[in-house]
């Protein structure tokens, strides 16, 4: 195997079929087929629809990835696939395909953690990840703060959402405002014409009394409820509702909480590198606020195309695992919808008894 391994990455945790090829720290091609338009008909992701879409899109997406990357499957040194967390049916499509390819090609397979992959993708943009680093992950289903001592071996949760993730809050508020699914990009677009200071929405778990128990945790359910109550009050009063102002004020509240908590994590740990990943990391206000308030830190944010779920992030983590000599998974890795972030590589099977922990125990 060459010094820089060629890794095929497969991602099917939710509604995007992502297949990519990475050589070391270089992305050769990232192919994505999304079922978001079909999901939009239902106002959210329907697991059965997502699973069927993965099945229908997989072969064509794989062919496109290898063709555009200029490689054949026989050139691949290893295969990495998201084993969790995510929608079980969707995950199983990718895992089953990856295991079939691993057997046919006689290549090692790594069943990897989706959240750790969101951190690892930064290797493709900014080079080696400084260790330790703090990671802020903000996706549709997860909002987490992590300490990353080794993205292939040692990731420690510092804080997480107690209810709605940031992405879920964007989707729910967008629905209230009559905006399409997924809500994040549409709220971001509309908010550009609004006044973020027009409405004082709450910032969950940021008061001094929250420091002891929830200093680095998140809560966006109360913010969503505050938007509902504000809209209802305006309607009852017959007052004009400016969608742009509501979107801007809501977005400001979310970004404020995310930045506040991320800065706290860096300050508490004395770590000067902050990696931001997940689909909400594409939000323009979050990026701007980090630029304003975290200019004393080394803030690493991938381009928006690598913030969404994609095969590149899975392949990036797979390449790092190969480079560092981590043991691959055994056959029968399965899927785990609630795979904890500290379990970076799955050994085999569906239960925790058959996994390799992040400490290699």
Same domain membership, residue 77 and residue 22? yes
273 and 317, same domain (yes or no): no
Could you give the strand order of the β-sheet that contains 6-11, starting from the edge strand earlier in sequence? 26-34, 16-23, 6-11, 78-84, 109-113, 345-346
**Percent of the chain predicted with pLDDT > 90:** 88
Question: Based on the domain organization, do 264 and 142 belong to the same domain?
Answer: yes
CB count, 10 Å around CB of 78? 22
Give the pLDDT confidence score for residue 29 in this predicted structure: 98
Q: What is the pLDDT of residues 312-332, one digit of tens each?
A: 999 999 999 999 999 999 989
In a domain, 361, yes or no: no
Q: What is the pLDDT of residues 75-103, one digit of tens each?
A: 999 999 999 999 999 999 999 999 999 99
Residue 36, both tokens: 């978001």
Range of the domain at 100: 6-121+310-354
Which one, of 270, 276, 293, lies nearest residue 143 by Cα? Answer: 276
Position 234 scores a pLDDT of 97
- pLDDT at residue 63 in the model: 98
pLDDT at 348: 61
- In this prediction, residue 347 has a pLDDT band, given cuts at 50, 70 and 90, of confident
Residue 301: per-residue pLDDT: 97
Contact present, 180 and 170 (Cβ < 8 Å)? no
Q: What is the band of 44 on the pLDDT scale with cuts at 50, 70, 90?
A: confident
**Do 277 and 199 share a structural domain?**
yes
Q: Quick one: 198 and 291 in the same domain?
A: yes
The answer on 299 and 186 residing in a single domain is yes
Whether pLDDT at 39 is above 80: no
Last residue of a domain, one of 266, 281, 303: 303
Q: Are residues 154 and 250 in the same domain?
A: yes
Higher pLDDT residue, 46 or 278? Answer: 278
pLDDT of residue 274: 98
Whether residue 323 is contained in a domain is answered as: yes
> Which tokens is 293 given?
């308030």
**Same domain? 162 vs 292:** yes
- Determine the average pLDDT of the residues in 62-77: 98
Looking at the fold, whether 236 and 142 belong to one and the same domain comes out as: yes
CATH number of domain containing 271: 3.30.420.40
Residue pLDDT, tens place only, 140-178: 788 999 999 999 999 999 999 999 999 999 999 999 999
Q: Name the pLDDT band for 358 (thresholds 50, 70, 90).
A: very low
Over the Cα atoms of the chain, what is R_g? 20
What confidence tens digit (pLDDT) does each residue in 109-140 have? 999 999 999 999 999 999 999 999 999 999 87
Q: Looking at residues 187-199, what average pLDDT do you find?
A: 98
Percent of the chain with pLDDT over 70: 96
pLDDT at 54: 93
Asked if residue 175 and residue 104 are part of one domain, the reply reads no
Task: Tell whether 256 and 337 lie within a shared domain.
Answer: no
For tokens 């493709």, name the residue.
Answer: 124
Q: How many domains does the chain have?
A: 2
């Amino acid at each position: 195997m060459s010094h820089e391994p060629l890794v095929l990455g497969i991602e099917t945790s939710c509604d995007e079929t992502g297949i990519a090829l990475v050589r070391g720290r270089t992305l050769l091609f990232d192919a994505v087929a999304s079922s978001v338009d079909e999901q939009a008909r239902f106002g959210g992701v329907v697991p059965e629809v997502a699973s069927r879409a993965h099945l229908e899109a997989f072969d064509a997406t794989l062919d496109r990835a290898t063709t555009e990357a200029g490689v054949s499957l026989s050139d691949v040194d290893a295969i990495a696939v998201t084993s969790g967390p995510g929608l079980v049916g969707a995950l199983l499509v990718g895992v089953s395909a990856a295991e079939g390819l691993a057997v046919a090609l006689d290549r090692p397979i790594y069943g990897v953690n989706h959240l750790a992959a969101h951190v690892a993708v930064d290797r493709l943009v900014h080079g080696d990840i400084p260790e330790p680093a703090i990671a802020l992950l903000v996706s549709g289903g997860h909002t987490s703060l992590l300490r990353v001592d080794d993205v292939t071996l040692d990731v420690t949760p510092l804080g997480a959402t107690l209810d709605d993730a940031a992405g879920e809050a964007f989707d729910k508020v967008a629905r209230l405002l009559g905006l399409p699914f997924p809500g994040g990009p549409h709220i971001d677009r509309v908010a550009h014409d609004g006044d973020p200071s027009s409405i004082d929405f709450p910032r969950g778990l940021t008061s001094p009394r929250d420091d002891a128990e929830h200093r680095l945790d998140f809560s966006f359910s109360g913010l969503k409820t505050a938007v509902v109550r504000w809209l209802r009050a305006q309607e009852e009063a017959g007052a004009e509702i400016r969608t742009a102002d509501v979107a801007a004020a809501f977005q400001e509240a979310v970004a404020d909480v995310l930045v506040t908590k991320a800065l706290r994590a860096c300050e508490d740990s004395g770590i000067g590198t902050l990696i931001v990943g997940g689909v909400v990391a594409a939000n323009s206000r979050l990026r701007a606020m980090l630029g304003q308030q975290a200019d004393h830190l080394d803030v690493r944010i991938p381009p928006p195309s690598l913030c969404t779920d994609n095969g590149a992030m899975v392949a990036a983590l797979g390449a790092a695992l190969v480079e560092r000599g981590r043991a691959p998974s055994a056959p029968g890795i399965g899927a785990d919808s609630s795979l904890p972030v500290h379990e970076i590589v799955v050994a085999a099977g569906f239960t925790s008894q058959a996994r390799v922990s992040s400490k290699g125990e």
